[in-house]
Amino acid sequence: MRVAHLALWLILSLWSVASAQSRLEERHVLEGTSGRVLRILSTADLDVFAPYLAAFAAENPAIGLDYSVVSSADLERMIREGAGYDLALSSAMDLQFQLANDGFALRYQSEATQALPDWARWRGLIFAFTAEPAVVVIARNAVADLTIPTTRRDLISLLRDHPDRFEGRVGTYDVRESGLGYLFATQDARATEAYWRLSEVMGRLDPKLYCCSGAMVDDLSSGDLVLAYNVLGSYARERLAREGSDDLVVVEMQDFANVMLRTAIVPRQAGAPDLAGRFIDHLVEIGLRPDPAHWPLPPLSGIGNAAAPSFGPIRLGPGLMVNLDWLNRRNFFRAWENSIRQTVDAAP
């Protein structure tokens, strides 16, 4: 018990140290003709987001773009500390929501944002422009002779019955490191009891923990992983489409699927809120396109057409703030540690 305690404190302090210094993972600058620059802080990897930037630059050649990629926790902290960005795009809905709730976002309204459904905006402060489900990605050859699981119950049975195939080769988000991973995990835990059993089963298989979906998809395609839970479907599909590979199966859970809304806010300190508004319109128009194809990230409209009955977006509302409370967070980390990290804790 004492050891567990110590480990927890260690992890918490490491987490805070890590988040204290922001790491710009990528940066991409497009020069504009007028000298005005729109500074965007985002969690979306550049290879996924480059087409959006290119399309905007083609329509607005005068405006320069400065696109920086950070983790969602860094993004939240940087905006809160007043970093000079004009637009913040994040997959961590809860963090984005809390920024808006706490008054760190500017109001914006346009014809495009008025066209958004009610669940895709909140108070003219925060706007959704994609709806991306969390999926399970499985290497086809690992389960060639088995039925592909479509519910968490099936997934639990599969992992429990074939530990030899999955030992050390399953991956999921490290919820302490990834804001999106934490969001998916807390929503899972709220929706279904099966989440904790699944975590325990995965915990026994010595899981690999990741910061981001991109890294998980990298390891899946290299063969280091055979199964990843709660991967962003958009990343996986984009990678599969890019590589033309048939090795991976993307499975949307039928019992319950989390759908993350990627959202935009204009930070309070934005120097060019008009440019930010124009970029939001650009994103929302793409997000509301009727045809899901052509863009790397799925549209908002895909949700209405989804076949699964339990398929629905995570609600943009104050309920999201519950999981950001440090007490709830500490309790959740404790429970998650206990289930997923048992092999590590049990080792000594």
Partner 1 sequence: MTPQGSILRSLTLLLAGVAAVLSILSWLIVSDFARRAVGRAQDNVLAASVTSIAETLRAEMGEVQLELPYSAFSMLGAISEDRVFYRIVAGGRLLTGYDDLPGIAEGDLEIGRVAFATDDYAGETVRLASATRIVAVGGDPVPVTVTVAQTRAGITQVASDLSRRAALISVVFFCIAVLLSAIAARASLRPLSDIAGAVARRGPSDLRPLHRRAPSELSPLIKALDRLILRLAESVRRSEDFIAEAAHRIRTPLTTVRMQSELALREADTDADRERLRRIIRAVDESSRSAGQLLDHATVAFRAEDLVRDPVDLSQLARRCVESIRPTAQMRDIGISLRTDPAPVRGDAVLLDTAVRNVLDNAVKYSPQATDVLIVVGQSEGESFVRVRDEGPGLGTGDFDDLTERFRRGPTAVDHVGSGLGLTITRDVLRAHGGRLVLENCNDEEGNGACVSLILPSG
Residues that bind partner 1 (CB under 8 A): 101-103, 122-123, 190, 315, 317-323, 325-328, 331
Write down the least CB distance from residue 247 to partner 1, Å: 38
Buried-exposed string 56-94: b where 16+ CB fall within 10 A, e elsewhere: bbeebeebbbbbbbbbbbbbbbbbeeebebbbbbbbbbb
Q: Is the CB of 122 or the CB of 279 nearer to partner 1?
A: 122
Write down the least CB distance from residue 102 to partner 1, Å: 7
Q: Phi, psi at residue 224, to the nearest 5°?
A: -70, -30
Tell me how far CA of residue 344 lies from CA of 124, 176, 211, 229, 287, in angstroms.
Answer: 46, 16, 18, 19, 42
Q: Is the CB of 121 or the CB of 282 nearer to partner 1?
A: 121
Q: Is the CB of 7 or the CB of 148 nearer to partner 1?
A: 7
Per DSSP bridges, beta strands 311-313 and 227-232 are: unpaired
Distance from first CA to last CA of the chain, Å, rounded?
Answer: 13
Write down the least CB distance from residue 216 to partner 1, Å: 27
Q: Is the CB of 13 or the CB of 331 nearer to partner 1?
A: 331
Q: Is the CB of 77 or the CB of 315 nearer to partner 1?
A: 315
Write down the least CB distance from residue 273 to partner 1, Å: 17
Write down the least CB distance from residue 318 to partner 1, Å: 4
The answer to whether the beta carbons of residues 38 and 276 sit under 8 Å apart is: yes
Cα-only R_g, the chain: 20
Q: Is the CB of 84 or the CB of 318 nearer to partner 1?
A: 318
Write down the least CB distance from residue 97 to partner 1, Å: 10
